[in-house]
C-alpha cells in the first residue's frame, strides 16, 4: 500500500541522482505516515539538502517577520474597510477566549500557555499587511492550535538534516516570497 502512494518525489537521473520533493507547510505528524518509503530513503541517502527557505536561520525568521509589516506609521485599521476590521477584531477576541480550551494536555504539560501562544501567533496583528493577517487567521483554528509545538514538515526535515550532519541550504530568499505576497492588492487578498 505504501508503494502505491504518490510520493511527490521527482528524480533527476545523474550520478549521484538528485531529487525534488514537494513539501507542505503543515505539522509533520499530519503527513509523515503518508510519505512513501522512496522519499524517506532519498532523504536518508542524500548528502546535501536544500529547502525552500532556511527556517533554522534566525535572520530568515526575523526577515519573515519584518516583511509582514505595513509601512512605518500604518496600521491595519488604516487599510481595511471599517466593517472588516471590526469583524476581524471580534474574531480574534473569540479565538483568544477559546484558545485555552483548544490546547492539549501535552501542550500545557510542556508549559505552553494560551496567552503566550496567542501572542506568538497573532501578536502585532494590527501592524501586519492584510495578506499576512489572512494567512494568520487561517491558522487560528482548533486543529491548528492543537498541533502547535509540532514542527512543520520543512522544519522537521531541516532539523533531521542537521542531526544527520547533512549540508543544507535554501533555494529562495525571504524577499522572493515576501515581495509577491506583499504585491497583492486588497481585492486579490
What is the predicted pLDDT for the residue at 6?
A: 61
- What is the pTM for the complete model shown? 0.78
What is the pLDDT at residue 1? 52
Task: Compute the distance between CA of residue 153 and CA of residue 139 in angstroms, rounded to an integer.
Answer: 16
Question: Do the Cβ atoms of 169 and 65 come closer than 8 Å?
Answer: no
Q: What is the Cα–Cα distance from 48 to 109, expressed in whole angstroms?
A: 36
Summarize pLDDT for 146-172 with one digit per residue, the tens: 988 888 899 999 999 999 999 999 999
- Answer whether 8's CB lies under 8 Å from 39's CB: yes
CB-CB contact of 152 with 28 (8 Å): yes
Radius of gyration, CA atoms only, the chain:
19
Peptide bond into 16 cis (omega under 30): yes
Mean pLDDT for back-to-back runs of 10 residues, the chain (189 residues): 64 88 84 89 93 90 92 93 96 96 90 89 94 92 89 92 94 90 81
Amino acid at each position: 500500500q505504501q508503494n502505491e502512494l504518490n510520493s511527490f518525489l521527482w528524480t533527476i537521473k545523474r550520478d549521484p541522482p538528485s531529487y525534488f520533493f514537494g513539501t507542505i507547510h503543515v505539522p509533520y505528524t499530519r503527513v509523515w505516515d503518508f510519505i512513501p518509503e522512496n522519499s524517506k530513503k532519498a532523504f536518508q541517502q542524500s548528502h546535501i539538502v536544500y529547502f525552500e527557505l532556511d527556517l533554522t536561520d534566525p535572520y530568515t525568521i526575523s526577515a519573515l517577520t519584518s516583511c509582514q509589516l505595513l509601512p512605518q506609521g500604518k496600521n491595519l485599521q488604516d487599510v481595511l474597510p471599517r466593517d472588516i476590521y471590526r469583524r476581524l477584531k471580534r474574531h480574534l477576541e473569540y479565538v483568544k477566549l477559546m484558545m485555552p480550551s483548544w490546547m492539549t494536555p501535552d501542550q500545557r504539560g510542556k508549559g505552553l500557555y494560551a496567552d503566550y501562544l496567542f501572542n506568538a501567533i497573532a501578536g502585532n496583528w494590527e501592524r501586519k499587511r492584510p495578506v499576512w493577517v489572512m494567512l494568520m487567521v487561517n491558522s487560528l483554528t482548533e486543529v491548528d492550535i492543537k498541533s502547535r509545538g509540532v514542527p512543520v514538515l520543512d522544519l522537521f526535515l531541516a532539523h533531521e538534516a542537521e542531526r544527520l550532519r547533512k549540508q543544507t541550504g535554501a533555494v529562495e530568499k525571504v524577499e522572493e516570497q515576501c515581495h509577491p505576497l506583499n504585491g497583492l492588492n486588497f481585492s486579490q487578498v
